[in-house]
Amino acid sequence: MPAHHTAPTLSIVIPMFNEEAVLPLLVERLRPIADGLDTAYEVVAVDDGSSDATAVILERERRTWPQLRIVRLRANSGHQAAISAGLARARGDYIVTLDADLQDPPEVIAEMLRLAREDGVDVVYGVRNDRSTDTAFKRGTARLFYKTMRRLGNIHAPEDAGDFRLMSRATVDAINTLPEHNRVLRFVVPALGFPSATVGYMREVRAAGTTKYPLAKMIRLSVDSVTGFSLAPLRFATWLGLLGGLAALGVLLYAVIARFLGHALPGWTSTVVIVAAVGAVQLLALGILGEYVGRMYSAMQSRPTYFIAHDSLSSEETAP
Ligand code: UDP
Ligand code: MG
């Protein structure tokens, strides 16, 4: 049986959006590395609704590279969604996610695989030793981003870990059970709590083409990250509503008292009372609504509240 018909041990998931410029370079560099691994593999190329020649190049490469699988999304759905699609379809016992632009050196995959097997960890994070190839703006915003996530979401993602990582089948199965939308995997994975290790690497410059992450998509990712792991912004709005409501009640009270002490112009009291009362009711109601919206949001994410690592009762049947 040819190697590609045996179930792959390793899946290499690569999201790509309009990567025609870099794709030939990627294949040229990745293929000998993958072929040189001591394990059967598949490459799951997730074409995230590209409008350039990405699909054509992939089809062409597949003719001579049977381990290349193409998963094409109907529309451009974004980096994280593309990775999620690849994870849902990957068949390997281990799954690596890798950017298409060769910023994540594929040479590191062998080291990740070795670490996972020898140390028995479920996740190996690729950690950038040196981000000097990224712009100062990108590095600055990234630092702020990870710091915010630690404070707000209590999520301890390894610093400078992006989406270059290896995960075990168990980890990916756990990710695949999460029904939430817009999940940001680099924070979801550490939150699952599987045993992990890190491997350092030099972040290279994009080998060809231009970034597919304009500022708007970066902001989107940040908003998804914060709202995905924290109700803090909503809570803040709730408190603002409650405080505003109380302040409006105070103004109302003051207007009434001023009226009886004779300090008020004719007509002033009724105007202020109406405005303050309406404001108070609206803001207080908004605060209460915020609490319920928060609860609905948590329920809707339906994130399991825990994942079992081990149960001695069933260990005979489920031990890997
Ligand atoms: N990507 C994608 N869909 C998108 C945007 C990006 O699949 O909507 C892929 C892109 O092709 C690349 C990876 O996500 O493989 C990271 O994107 P990029 O290298 O442009 O981001 P940067 O390194 O500039 O942050
Ligand atoms: Mg890149």
The ipTM, to two decimals, is 0.98
Encoding tokens for residue 303?
A: 């994130």
Query: Measuring from each residue's beta carbon to the nearest atom of ligand 1, which residues come in under 6 Å?
Result: 15-17, 19, 48, 76, 78-79, 82, 99-101, 103, 206, 211-213
Please list the helix, strand and coil fractions of the chain in percent, rounded to the nearest 5, in that order: 50, 15, 35
pLDDT at 153 (0 to 100): 73
Pocket test for ligand 1, best of 17, 83, 103, 104 (most atoms within 8 A of CB): 17
CB 228 within 8 A of CB 182: yes
**Does residue 22 carry a pLDDT above 50?**
yes
Comparing C-alpha atoms, which of 84, 83, 120, 93 is closest to residue 194? 120
**Does residue 2 carry a pLDDT above 60?**
no
CB 203 within 8 A of CB 131: yes
The angle subtended at Cα 134 by Cα 200 and Cα 86, nearest 5°, is 65
pLDDT at 304 (0 to 100): 67
Comparing C-alpha atoms, which of 122, 74, 103 is closest to residue 14? 103
Secondary element (H or E) of residue 14: strand 10-16
Encoding tokens for residue 93?
A: 């016992």
Cα(103) to ligand 2 centroid in Å equals 6
> For the whole model, what pTM was predicted?
0.81
Alpha-carbon distance of 204 to 140, in angstroms, equals 18
CB 91 within 8 A of CB 7: yes
Alpha-carbon distance of 162 to 139, in angstroms, equals 12
Give the pLDDT confidence of 93-104 residue by residue, as tens digits.
999 999 999 999
Q: Tell me the CB-side half-sphere exposure of residue 121, using CA atoms within 13 A.
A: 20
Q: Crossing angle of helices 79-89/215-229, nearest 10°?
A: 60
Please, which residues have CB less than 5 A from ligand 2, an ion? 99, 101, 103
Direct distance between the N- and C-terminal alpha carbons of the chain, in angstroms, rounded to an integer: 26
Secondary element (H or E) of residue 295: helix 268-301
The residue whose CA is least distant from atom 8 of ligand 1 is: 78
Alpha-carbon distance of 161 to 165, in angstroms, equals 8
CB 126 within 8 A of CB 165: yes
Cα(101) to ligand 2 centroid in Å equals 5
Q: What's the pLDDT band for 130 if we cut at 50, 70, 90?
A: confident
Q: What's the pLDDT band for 165 if we cut at 50, 70, 90?
A: very high
Atom number in ligand 1 closest to CA 16? 11
Pocket test for ligand 1, best of 101, 134, 206, 217 (most atoms within 8 A of CB): 101
The residue whose CA is least distant from atom 23 of ligand 1 is: 211
> 149 CB contacts (<8 Å, ≥6 apart)?
155, 157, 187, 225, 226, 229
3-state secondary structure of 303: coil
Q: Name residue, tokens 């870099």.
A: 22
Q: Are strands 123-130 and 161-168 parallel, antiparallel or unpaired?
A: antiparallel
Give the pLDDT confidence of 255-306 residue by residue, as tens digits.
889 888 887 777 888 888 888 888 888 888 888 888 888 888 888 877 766 6
Alpha-carbon distance of 260 to 192, in angstroms, equals 62
Alpha-carbon distance of 111 to 283, in angstroms, equals 56
Which of 28-32, 76-80, 134-138 has maximum average pLDDT?
Answer: 28-32
Q: What does CATH list as the number for 8-210+303-318? A: 3.90.550.10
Pocket test for ligand 1, best of 46, 51, 54, 212 (most atoms within 8 A of CB): 212
Alpha-carbon distance of 267 to 272, in angstroms, equals 9
Atom number in ligand 1 closest to CA 15? 7
Cα(18) to ligand 1 centroid in Å equals 9
> 36 CB contacts (<8 Å, ≥6 apart)?
110
Beta strands in 30-145 (DSSP E): 41-47, 68-72, 94-97, 123-130
Q: Name residue, tokens 């190996």.
A: 124
